[in-house]
Structure 1
Amino acid sequence: MEETGIGAWGVPLAILAGAIRVSTPFIFVSLGETVTERSGRINLGLEGTLVFGAMTAYAVAVMTNSPWLGVIAAMATGAVFGLAHGWICKWPRVNDIAIGIAMMQFGLGLAFFLGKPFIQPAAPHLPAIPLGFWSSLPQIQAALNINVLFLLGAALAFVLRWALGNTRLGLVLRVVGDSTDAARAMGISPDRVRLLATAAGGSLAAIGGAYLSLYYPGSWNEGISSGQGLMAVALVIFARWNPIGCFLAALLFGGAGALGPALQSAGVSEGYYLFYAAPYVLTLVIMIATSSPTRSLSGAPGALSLTK
Structure 2
Amino acid sequence: MTADQWIALAAGIVGGALRVGAPFLFVSLGECLTEKSGRINLGLEGVLVLSAMAAFGGAYLTDSAWLGVLIGAVAGAALALLHGLLCSLDRVNDVATGIALMLLGTGLAFYLGKPLIQPQAPQIPAIPLGFWSDNTVVRSALQLNALVPIGVALAVLLWWGFARTRAGLLVRMAGDSAQATRALGYSVSGLRIAATTAGGFIAGLGGASLTLFYPGSWNEGISSGQGLIAVALVIFARWSPLRCVGAALLFGGAGAIGPALQSIGIGWGYHLFNTVPYVLTLVILVLTCRPGTSAAGAPGELSSTRS
TM-score range, shorter chain: over 0.9
Identical aligned residues as a percent? 58
What is the alpha-carbon distance in structure 2 between the residues aligned to residue 113 and residue 152 of structure 1?
A: 30
What is the alpha-carbon distance in structure 1 between the residues aligned to residue 7 and residue 139 of structure 2?
A: 14
For the pair 1:291 / 2:280, whether they are aligned, the reply is no
Do 2:59 and 2:122's aligned partners in 1 also have CA atoms closer than 8 Å?
yes
What is the alpha-carbon distance in structure 1 between the residues aligned to residue 138 and residue 287 of structure 2?
A: 36
For the pair 1:260 / 2:261, whether they are aligned, the reply is no
Instruction: Find the partner of 1:188 among 186, 192, 199.
Output: 186
Do 1:52 and 1:108's aligned partners in 2 also have CA atoms closer than 8 Å?
yes
Instruction: Find the partner of 1:177 among 175, 178, 184.
Output: 175
What is the alpha-carbon distance in structure 1 between the residues aligned to residue 200 and residue 38 of structure 2?
A: 15
- What is residue 239 of structure 1 aligned with on the other side? 237
CA RMSD across the alignment: 1.3
- What is residue 75 of structure 1 aligned with on the other side? 73
User: Post-superposition shift, 1:307?
Assistant: 6.0
- Partner SS state of residue 217, structure 1: coil
Name the aligned partner's letter for residue 23 of structure 2. P
5+ residue gaps, structure 2, are none
When structure 1 is superposed on structure 2, of 262-271 and 204-213 the one drifting more is 262-271
When structure 1 is superposed on structure 2, of 70-79 and 220-229 the one drifting more is 70-79
TM-score (normalizing by structure 2)? 0.97
Instruction: Find the partner of 1:300 among 279, 298, 301.
Output: 298
- What is residue 103 of structure 1 aligned with on the other side? 101
Do 1:97 and 1:306's aligned partners in 2 also have CA atoms closer than 8 Å?
no
User: Post-superposition shift, 1:143?
Assistant: 3.1
TM-score (normalizing by structure 1)? 0.96
User: Post-superposition shift, 1:272?
Assistant: 2.6
User: How many residues get paired?
Assistant: 306
When structure 1 is superposed on structure 2, of 154-163 and 298-307 the one drifting more is 298-307
- What is residue 203 of structure 2 aligned with on the other side? 205
- What is residue 129 of structure 1 aligned with on the other side? 127
- Partner SS state of residue 23, structure 1: helix
Do 1:40 and 1:305's aligned partners in 2 also have CA atoms closer than 8 Å?
no
Do 1:41 and 1:305's aligned partners in 2 also have CA atoms closer than 8 Å?
no
Name the aligned partner's letter for residue 96 of structure 2. A
- Partner SS state of residue 303, structure 1: helix
User: Post-superposition shift, 1:136?
Assistant: 2.2
Do 2:123 and 2:212's aligned partners in 1 also have CA atoms closer than 8 Å?
yes
Do 1:95 and 1:307's aligned partners in 2 also have CA atoms closer than 8 Å?
no
Do 2:58 and 2:71's aligned partners in 1 also have CA atoms closer than 8 Å?
yes
- What is residue 116 of structure 1 aligned with on the other side? 114
- What is residue 18 of structure 1 aligned with on the other side? 16
What is the alpha-carbon distance in structure 1 between the residues aligned to residue 209 and residue 305 of structure 2?
A: 33
User: Post-superposition shift, 1:51?
Assistant: 0.3
When structure 1 is superposed on structure 2, of 159-168 and 25-34 the one drifting more is 159-168
